[in-house]
Amino acid sequence: MYPAELEKYLMHVQKPGRYTGGELNSVIKPHDSVDIRYAFCFPDTYEIGMSHLGMKILYSLVNERDDALCERVFAPDVDMEAIMREHNIPLYALESGKPIGDFDIIGFTMQYELSYTNVLNMLDLAGLPVKSADREALTPIVIAGGTCVCNPEPMADFFDITLPGDGEEVTNELIDLLKEYKKKGAAKKEFLAAAAQIPGVYVPSLYEVSYNGDGTVKEVTPTCSAPAKVIKRNVADLDKMFAPTSFVVPFLESVFDRTTVEIFRGCIRGCRFCQAGFLNRPLREKSPEAVEAQCRAICDSSGYDEISLCSLSTSDYKGLEKLLTNMLPWADENKINIALPSLRADNFPKELMERLNSVRRSGLTFAPEAGTQRMRDVINKNITEEEILSTAAQAFSGGWTAVKLYFMIGLPTETEEDLKGIADLAQAVVDKYYSCENKPKGKSVSVNISLASLVPKPFTPFQWEPQDKPDVLIEKQNYLISCVKTRKVNVSRHVPWTSFLEGVFARGDRRLGRVIETAWKKGCHFDSWEEHLDREKWTQSFKECGIDPYFYTARVRDLDEVLPWDHMDYGVTKKFLQKEYIKAHKGETTPCCREKCSNCGAARLNGGVCNELGKTVV
């Protein structure tokens, strides 16, 4: 539902269906029938947010409760925002059309640093002060979860609470507590102090940060008996964890117009650039039986004809063969396509892929990440050129003629040799196609290289690494492109300035809050959209706040430096990351969790692959 005042303007905006609600399976509860009303906000447009699995899980989880409701909120596109501002229509939730300022909890899921300004903009559209300190009432409490809150500091001024780790359990605990404090008529301060006692709850305002003369963090001191370290929440047994059996089905086509079922969390691999891999340790699998039951239930209730089995590295799923063997007859019969994203080139399940093709064929994408073996060893991407080429050969004899390869540039210790290696590897894949006997007859091959640039992230061994400046990255891109000698290889590249800004906020501290607010006031939002990212305004904002952005990206950090996010604990220890950093610079690899435990520290979080190993070793 939308506010009645909007009726007049709906036909004046692009895709009005984004603002109306009323989709299949949306849950509508009367507001006076519950104690806690939760507005789940995705700080980007409807089409992007509606593809997000985390939102689907938490939406169902909260709506399962009799005493709470959850509604969805997305960032209005620029045309709609202009109308809302002109006519004083506050940001509303899609189910009821009620302003989100009247809800008890406003929760953001933070997947990307470049959506920070959207958070401020959405709070402002809701008629709320953007800063936590300026929102005096107990409700709405503004909370955030998701990948980015592993370093909550740049947004510390704005969020009342952040929730590192898995959100399922802690969301319920927080709702229970707020219900109690709301009934008591407690003050916001009292509630926040109590919330900080829940494991996995971080209240930024309860921590004081002091700085050294060189601008680095000196110390982070908790107050009001908040814990010195906030340990992320970890759902140990995914089979027992709540999983939704029905999703809101958008009328509009979303980015991923299909259903998604998670098969495991975490990753055994330990690629040194990959934040998700370290943040979500230990790896925890769902049983094939649970996955299949969820797939069937969701397809039944949604009518989708495509399922994406989601994880960080699908071919590492131990139950993959069993799951597909059980599920394929059902999928074939119901003309359901099963998509397996995130496959590795070294354990590519050939026979399974052939069977998957019986329904529909999707593209083939691999991520060698680096062009030379030396570079792949540095980043601990433990695959070899032979493995990549033999997988490509398999694909070509299976009828594929297009392959997409993901690479990263700006990696530590990178030389021209490594960049040229990317072009050489692509060329080797082209050559492999022509030497392949079973290749499709009379067709040409196309190899698409997608070039990303490394953004060193917290909780990875590269968290101390300097990030290449945009001009250096452009030079590297140009050099690489000059090494490509065939038109069968296409190179698509990212805008380095986006990575630069992402890098600033990824490893930033509290002092960046002012920059974010300044840039937002100047009109910055949707920074992840190339057409909206305004470099001039950002540059000006850094200047006005007296902050050098390169302090956060280009500086070489000392291994013992106090990092702004050191008071977050994701299981993996700083000591382990330091060891990995040193090994990276020596070009030494680390085996995956299933081969050998490397004592990363995540085992104390309990569950998953750590227990699996414990059993086999003993």
Partner 1 sequence: MNSVRLWYKKSGLVIYTSHLDMNRCFTRAVRRADIPLWYTEGFNPHPYMTFLLPLPLGQTGLREPLDIRVEEDISPGEIKNRLNSVLPSGLEIVDAAEAVNKANSIVSARYKTDLLFESEGEAEGFSAGINDIMSSGVLNAEKRSKRGTKKVNLCDYVDSFSAVCEGKTVKTDAVLATGTQNNLNAGLLFETLCSEFAAEPEKTSIVRTDIYMENMIPFC
Interface pick for partner 1 out of 168, 257, 346, 475 (rule CB under 8 A) = 257
Within positions 259 to 318, which residues make up the interface with partner 1, using CB under 8 A?
Answer: 299-305
Q: List Cβ neighbours of 346 (8 Å cut-off, separation of 6 or more).
A: 382, 383, 384, 387, 391
In angstroms, the CA 485 to CA 495 distance is: 23
Minimum distance from CB of 257 to partner 1 (Å)? 7
Q: Name which of 36 and 295 has its Cβ closer to partner 1.
A: 295
Rule CB under 8 A: which of 16-75 touch partner 1?
16-17, 19-24
Least spacing, CB of residue 111 vs partner 1, in Å: 25
Minimal distance in Å, beta carbon 309 to partner 1?
19
The angle subtended at Cα 289 by Cα 285 and Cα 291, nearest 5°, is: 60
What are the beta bridge partners of residue 106? Answer: 39, 142
Query: Judged by CB under 8 A, which stretch of 6-14, 147-155, 366-374, 595-603 contacts partner 1?
Result: 6-14
Q: Does 184 bind partner 1 (CB under 8 A)?
A: no
Q: Which stretch binds partner 1 (CB under 8 A): 233-241, 247-255, 409-417, 596-604?
A: 247-255
User: Based on CB atoms, which residue is closest to partner 1, 360 or 596?
Assistant: 360
Among residues 31, 64, 180, 251, the one that binds partner 1 under rule CB under 8 A:
251
- Least Å from the CB of residue 294 to partner 1: 16
Note whether 576 and 163 are within 8 A (CB).
no
Is 246 or 448 the residue whose CB approaches partner 1 more closely?
246
Structure tokens at 3: 């506010």
- Cα distance from N-terminal residue to C-terminal residue, the chain: 58
Helix axes 78-86, 116-125, angle to 10 degrees: 30
Contact flag: residue 401 with partner 1 (CB under 8 A): no
Radius of gyration of the chain (CA): 24
* Closest separation in Å from C-beta 12 to partner 1: 10
Q: Residues 339-378 vs partner 1: string with x where CB under 8 A? A: ---------------------x------------------
**Binding segment toward partner 1, per CB under 8 A, in 7-15, 155-163, 529-537, 597-605:** 7-15
Inter-CA distances, 520 with 88, 358, 433, 548, Å? 19, 50, 50, 18
Q: Which two tokens stand for residue 34?
A: 């519950």
Give the chain's largest Cα–Cα span: 76
Residue pair 122/73 in contact (Cβ under 8 Å)? The answer is yes
The C-alpha angle 356, 357, 360, rounded to 5 degrees, equals 110
Task: Tell me the closest approach of the beta carbon of residue 7 to partner 1, in angstroms.
Answer: 6
Copy the structure tokens of residue 500.
Answer: 């630069």
User: Minimum Å distance from CB 252 to partner 1?
Assistant: 5
Please give the Cα distance from 441 to 93 (Å, whole number).
54
Spatial CB neighbours of 464, under 8 Å, sequence gap ≥ 6: 456, 556, 557, 558, 559, 561, 581
Q: Among 75, 83, 249, 340, indicate the residue that binds partner 1 (CB under 8 A).
A: 249
Which of 10-18, 38-46, 169-177, 419-427 is the region at the interface with partner 1 (rule: CB under 8 A)? Answer: 10-18
Q: Which is nearer to partner 1, 238 or 336 (CB)?
A: 336
Which residues make up the interface to partner 1 (CB under 8 A)?
Answer: 1, 7-8, 10-11, 15-17, 19-24, 249, 251-253, 257, 299-305, 334-335, 360
